[in-house]
Amino acid sequence: MIGKYPQIGRRPVARALALGAISAIGLAACGGTSSSSSATSAKRVTIAFISQGTSNSWAAQLDAVARKTANQLGVKLVYFNGQGNATTQLPEIPAAIAEHPDVIVLVPLGEAADTGPVERAMAAGIKVVLLDSTVNTTNYTSLINPDAATAAVPLAEWLAKKMNYKGNLLYAGGLPGNATTILYDKGFHSVMNKYPNIHIVNAGNTNYSISTAKQLAATAIASGRKFTGAWGVGGEAVTGIMLAYADSSIRPIPPVAGAAATNGTLRLAVQDNIQAAMLQFPPTDSQVAIQTAYKAALGQTVPKYINISTLPQYGDIFPPLNKYYKPQYSDDMYVGTNNVLTDSELSSLHLLK
Amino acid sequence: MSRDRFLSEPARIPKAEDAGGAGSARITGVPGPAEVAAPHRPSLADRVRRGRARVHPLPVALAALTVALVAVFEPRFYRPANLHVLMQQWSVLGLVTLGQLLVLLVAGIDLSVGAVMNATLIIIALMNGHSLLVVSLLLCLALGALVGVTNGVLVSVREVPPFAATLGMLAVIQGAILVYTKGIPAGNIPPSLRPVALSGVGIVPYSLIMCLGVAALLLFALRRGTYGRKIYAVGRSPEVARRAGISTIYVRVSAYMACGVLAAAAGIILSAYVGYVDPEIGGNYNLESIAAAVLGGVAFTGGEGGVTGALAGSLFLLALLNVATISSLNPFTQLIVQGVVMLIAVFLFQFLKKRTRT
C-alpha cells in the first residue's frame, strides 16, 4: 500500500497556507518510487503497480481502487509513480523489474517507448498486465482496456438522431496522437460518415483540458454558427462545451455527447437542462487489473484481452441523467467509482462534499 | 552625474554588442554613469524620418494587418459576441504577458506562471464558502508575490539560472498542489467572482478593463518612471547599472514579484471565466506568455521591448487562434498555420530590427 499523505488542518485558510509549507514534502512524494506492503497474507504475491501516477483525479481514483483491491487480496503492492508523464514513467519499468515482482501492472503512457521494457520484463519471467492502454507488441500477459471505438458508436448515433441527422456539429477533440483519442474518433466518424447532412465544425484539440475546451467552444459558439449538436472527446471536452454554452445566451442548449461522465458533467447537464449522453468509464478497472494479476501470479489462466466496455459499470448513459448524478459527491468523481470505494474512502480523496 | 540625476534622465542603456541603438549612447571601455545617459531623445516622427524608429510599432502594425486581413477572409471575427470572447481571453493572456515582459526585460524568464495560476484556482475553490472572497483573492495575490520573490532571490542572489529556478518553482508548486489535493481538487468557484470575467461595459469585460489599467500603469512606470529606467538599465547591462548605483537585486526581485502577482491576478480572472475547478487551468500560459512577449518585440536578452508590444503580441496570438477556430480548420492544420504565421512575424521583427540598427 502506498504511504499515507500528510495530514493537513481542516480550516481552508490553513489548508491554503499549508500548500507552500508542504511543497518540499510534495517534491519528495512525487519523485522516485515508494513502496509499502499490504495486509498480511500467508502466500504473499508481489505486484508492481506502475501507475499513471499523481497527476489528476482520474489517476488518483485508479490508484485508490488498486490499493484497496490489493489490500483485500493480501497482495504486496509495490507502487511506481509515473507522474502523468511518459518520459518520467519510462525508467520506472526497469526499476520495477529490478524488484522481481510476480507481476507488473502497467498503465502505459508511452505506447512505443514502453514496448521494449515490457518485452524485457516478460523475458525475465515477470508477467505483465497492461491497463487502459497498450504497447506495440502482443508479448504481454493480459490487456485490460475499454473498446473506445465501439463504445463511442451508440453515443454518436444518439447525437445524430437528436440532430435529426442534419446541421452543424461542434466537435472538440482530445489529445493528438493519444490512442484513446484515436479510437474515440474512429467510432465517432464511423457513425457521422453515414450522415452527409451533418457538418462537423472542428473547434480544435482540447488536450484533455477543461479550460482549453471552454475557450475553444466559446469561440466557436461566438462565431455565430448555429449548432444542432456537440461532441467532446473526453470528459474535459464535454465539460468545456457545457460550460461555454451555459455562459452563452443560447437556449435551448443543443444536445452534447462524448466521454467520460464525471459527477461534474452530470451536474452541469442537470443544472443547465442539457440533453447529454456519455460513456460511463470509472477508473475502477484497476480492480480488474489487480485481480487478473493476482490470478496470473498464482499460475491461473487469464484472458489475453478483457474488454471492460462490456462490463455493466462501463455502459453508455443517456437521459434522464439525474438518476446518475449524485449531489453528495464532488465534481471530480467518475460515475461508478462510488460502486467500489466506500464513502469514507471517497471522503479521504476529497470526493465527498 | 549623481545617481538621482542619472535616473531622471531619459536614458537608454545599450548592450555591449549594440552597434549603436537609436537614441542611445555608445559604451567604449568601462562605462561610467555619465556615459549611459543620452541628452536628448528625438520624437517618434523624427526617428521614423531618420529610419531610426524603435521596433515597438511593428507588433502593433502586425496586429493591425491581421485585423484587416481577417475582415476580408473571416468576417465572423467581428461579431460582437466573438470580440467579447476574444477580449475575455486577452485579459488573461495580456496580464500574464505583462508579467513575463517585466521578467524578460531584466533578462530573465518565468516558467512558473502557469503553476501560480493553478494554485490560485485551488485556493479560491478551497476557501469558497469558508471565508470572504476578498480574503482568498488577497491570499492568491500574496502567494503570487511570494513565489515571485522566491524566484527573484534565487536568480539574483543565489545566481541560479532563471530557467532552472522558475522550472524548479513550477515543480514545487505543482508538487505541493498534488500532495495536498491528491490530484483531486475540492470545492467550487464562487458565483460572485464570475462577473469579473463574464460581465462588463458593453462587450468589454471588466477583466479587460483591469488588464488595460494595469498596462497603463506599467506603461507609465516603464516610460516615465524611475523604476522603468532601472528595469531597462539592469536588463541591458547589469554591470553598468550596478556601477550607476542601481540595486540590481532589488530590481530583479521586484520584477519577478510583479510577474508572480500578475500571474495570480490572471489566475483569478481565468478561474472566474472558466467557472469550474480545473487543476490544470494555467497549463499553456508559460509558453504562450513568452511567445506573446517575443512576438511583441520583447528580447530574451533583456532590456528591449515594451507594454504596447507585449499586449499587441498577446492579441495577435489569440486572434490567430480565434480565426483558426472559427474557420474550423483541421486542428493539425491550425498548428501549422499558427506556427508559420508566428515564424514570419518573428522573422519580420528581427529583420526590421537589424535594418533599424544599421
| Average pLDDT rounded to a whole number, residues B44-68 | 60
| Average pLDDT rounded to a whole number, residues B236-244 | 92
Cross-chain CB nearest to A210 (options B180, B186, B278): B278
The full set of domains in chain A, from first to last, is 12-146+284-311 (3.40.50.2300), 148-279 (3.40.50.2300)
Inter-chain CB pairs, A–B, below 8 Å: 174
| Average pLDDT rounded to a whole number, residues B68-88 | 90
> Rounded to 5 degrees, what are φ and ψ at A201?
-105, 110
Q: Which of B328, B333, B335 is best to mutate for the A interface (most A CBs within 10 A)?
A: B328
> Domain B55-357: which CATH class?
mainly alpha
Regarding an ipTM greater than 0.90, the answer is: no
In sequence order, the β-bridge partners of residue A279 are: A259, A316
Whether residue A23 and residue B86 make contact (CB cut-off 8 A), yes or no, is no
Output the CA torsion sign for B189, B192, B198, B204.
negative
**Are the CB atoms for A330 and A353 separated by under 8 Å?**
yes
Gap from B113 CA to chain A (nearest CA, Å): 15
Whether residue A8 and residue B180 make contact (CB cut-off 8 A), yes or no, is yes
Contacts of A69 (CB under 8 A, 6+ apart): A75, A286, A287, A290, A291
Tens digits of residue pLDDT in A3-24: 332 333 334 444 444 444 443 3
Pairing of strands A316-317, A276-279: antiparallel
The pLDDT of residue A300 is above 50: yes
Chain B residue numbers touching A235 (CB-CB < 8 A): none
Q: Which helix (H) or strand (E) holds B300?
A: none
Whether residue B274 and residue A214 make contact (CB cut-off 8 A), yes or no, is yes
Q: Residue B356's pLDDT is what? A: 66
Whether residue A23 and residue B136 make contact (CB cut-off 8 A), yes or no, is no
Q: Residue B265's pLDDT is what? A: 98
Of A170, A171, A243, A239, which Cα lies nearest the Cα of A209? A239
Q: Which of B82, B149, B179 is best to mutate for the A interface (most A CBs within 10 A)?
A: B179
Whether residue B183 and residue A57 make contact (CB cut-off 8 A), yes or no, is yes
Q: Residue B43's pLDDT is what? A: 54
Query: CA gyration radius for chain A?
Result: 21
Q: In angstroms, rounded to a whole number, what is the distance separating the alpha carbons of residues B231 and A122?
A: 59
Tens digits of residue pLDDT in B280-317: 888 889 999 999 998 888 988 889 999 998 998 899 88
For residue B31 the three cell numbers come to 562605462
Tens digits of residue pLDDT in A232-258: 998 889 999 999 999 998 999 999 999
Whether residue B180 and residue A209 make contact (CB cut-off 8 A), yes or no, is no
* Average pLDDT over chain B, rounded to an integer: 83
The pLDDT of residue A31 is above 60: no
Length in residues, chain B: 358
Whether residue B180 and residue A57 make contact (CB cut-off 8 A), yes or no, is no
Q: Is A56 helix (H, G, I), strand (E, B) or coil?
A: strand
> Is pLDDT larger for residue A139 or for residue B62?
A139
Q: Residue B25's pLDDT is what? A: 36
Is 0.95 surpassed by the pTM of this model? no
Q: Which residue in chain A has the smallest CA separation from B89?
A: A215
Q: In angstroms, rounded to a whole number, what is the distance separating the alpha carbons of residues A26 and A29?
A: 5
**Are the CB atoms for A349 and A64 separated by under 8 Å?**
yes
Q: Does A220 touch chain B (CB under 8 A)?
A: yes
Q: Residue B345's pLDDT is what? A: 74
Q: Which helix (H) or strand (E) holds A306?
A: strand A305-307
CB atoms within 10 A of CB A299: 8
Q: What is the DSSP string of B305-351?
A: --HHHHHHHHHHHHHHHHHHHHTT--HHHHHHHHHHHHHHHHHHHHH
Tens digits of residue pLDDT in B248-261: 999 999 999 999 99
